[in-house]
Chains A and B, each alone.
Chain A
Amino acid sequence: MRVAIRAIGIASAVFWVFLIIFGVFAVLSMQNFQMSFGKMQTGISSGNEVELLLPISIANKGFLSVGDFNVSTRIVDEQGSTLAAGQTFIPEIGAGETVNATHQVNLGLNEFLAGHVRMLLNDSELRVEEMVGMKVAQIVPVKASSNFSIPWGAPLYNFAVGAPEVSLSGLNYSRIVVPISFENHAFFSFNGTLQVRVYNSSNLLVGVGQGPVDVQQNLVYKEKLGIDVSTGNATLIGHIEVFLETPVFSYGPVVIPYGV
């Protein structure tokens, strides 16, 4: 029995020493684990999605490898609905290795803004839930999570359609000039087409006009769109409908009466 007791004692001591040394090495290793984020870049993908690109640099200067490294981002609105999500996964970062990766989150603006029209017109805040997870020595899961808010600038902030001005432009045509203005507070620039449709008092389409829109970030769009209307069908009272079509979102119709 004494042999068995001695064997148990030796095995127990060896495993305790191994466990303590592993714990010490794991803690020292994590002290030398460094992660840094670069400057976020934005762009529009070929699928008309806004891409948020965040460069990440991970330097594992510790003694132990890190496995299942992942960065997850979830952007939610004020009601908690998920607007966009992205994940970057690196299977293994060896001891002494430095890995550079780009964390990408795609925000489908069409779907997002179709369900949140007021985000087109009003500045707001979006909540970002960030999570970084890894397994130290491929064994011990460690996770860090954080919530923070980012400002959302409306692409059509203060969208305004002024009172249409009607004037005669010839014997058979009238000219309707529609002043349109808005401010692009969004983090992306956009271009598209602004279309104005003129309807008479019988709701008949009597004229269509359109013009290009190309608005950089933080700039103001202020133009007057002119539409020539045939006097045959035109009436003194009617309404106009304004549409804005861009590759990333659509807005409209904004209905404005005239002649009232």
Chain B
Amino acid sequence: MVFRASKATIMGSVLYVVYVILWQYLGPMFMLLPGFQQMVEAFVVTYVALLVGSELTSGTIYQYFFNVAKALFVIGYIMFSLKTGIFELPLGGISVSVDLRLFLIVAMLLGLLGLAKTILQAIDFMSARSESVVI
């Protein structure tokens, strides 16, 4: 249990440090987008929480519940934040639009891939467990 807690803490901390470092470079540009920083922080905090929950319950079936929740959260958050995939931003008298539909499709496919992997892992875990019970 201590090992699992330590691993969860380390992984959560590493992820948060990566976010802070990336924000140092990208943050100034995205300051023009209202609410963007809060959106990213909410995503990072929730993802780290689910990651920590997954690591704390590793070795049990509940790990896969957290992993499925994490995969669905990523898919849902991408859909919620990007909506149609065309991002419009008014900057004074200029309207800037960025078409992120390709990015959205790729991210959604990767999210579904992660979900499929988690489901396969859960199936593998249950089959390995039932084999060990039989033995």
Contact = CB atoms under 8 A, between A and B. Distances in A.
A140 interface: yes
B99 interface: yes
B94 interface: yes
Interface in A110-164: 139-148
A12 B96 CA distance: 32
B113 interface: yes
B108 to A, nearest CB: 11
B26 A24 contact: yes
A117 to B, nearest CB: 32
A28 to B, nearest CB: 7
Contact of A12 (B94, B114, B123, B124): B114
Contact of B97 (A12, A31, A143): A143
B95 interface: yes
Contact of B124 (A2, A19, A147): A2
Contact of B121 (A5, A11, A31, A143): A5
A27 B103 CA distance: 13
B42 interface: no
A4 interface: yes
Contacts of B98: 140-143
Given A139-B102, A144-B94, A144-B96, A11 B22 contact: no
A120 to B, nearest CB: 30
Most buried by B among A1, A147, A148: A1
A211 interface: no
B101 to A, nearest CB: 9
B17 interface: no
Interface of B: 22, 25-26, 29, 93-100, 102-103, 106-107, 110, 113-114, 116-117, 120-121, 123-124
6 smallest beta-carbon distances between A and B, as pairs = A141-B99, A8-B117, A146-B94, A144-B96, A12-B113, A143-B97
8 contacts: A1-B120, A15-B113, A31-B29, A140-B98, A140-B100, A144-B96, A144-B97, A146-B94
